[in-house]
């Protein structure tokens, strides 16, 4: 049995996306994407800090870009060539961190 994550089916991915407000699927990148807007840089940084701690614990890291109060996030599992449960778990946690 392999510990390697497996790519979600289109149906499973879309079902999970339906529960993640503001997230979308980018076909070209085979990734989940969302842009978060915060009140200021400190709020954006706090969000990124919380997400970074979980990413290290999960050994699953987002691609992101930050300017002042905006954080653009992209989640994909490169080893699986697409979205896996790891991406859904990380996106779900980010939603909690952002609220």
The model's pTM is 0.89
2: confidence class by pLDDT, cuts 50, 70, 90: low
Q: Provide the H-helix boundaries in the chain.
A: 10-17, 41-58, 85-98
Query: Can you give the pLDDT at residue 5?
Result: 86
Sketch out the chain's domains with CATH numbers: 31-98 (3.30.1360.20)
Interacting residues of 51 by C-beta distance below 8 A, sequence separation 6+: 62, 64, 73, 90, 93, 94, 97
CB 33 within 8 A of CB 24: yes
Query: Can you give the pLDDT at residue 58?
Result: 93
């Amino acid at each position: 049995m392999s510990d390697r994550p497996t790519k979600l089916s289109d149906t499973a991915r879309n079902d999970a996306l339906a529960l993640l407000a503001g997230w979308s699927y980018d076909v070209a990148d085979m990734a989940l994407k969302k842009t978060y807007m915060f009140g200021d840089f400190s709020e954006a940084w706090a969000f990124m800090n919380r997400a970074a701690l979980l990413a290290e614990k999960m050994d699953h890291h987002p691609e992101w870009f930050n300017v002042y109060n905006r954080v653009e996030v992209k989640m994909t599992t490169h080893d699986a060539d697409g979205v896996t449960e790891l991406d859904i778990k990380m996106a779900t946690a980010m939603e909690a961190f952002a609220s």
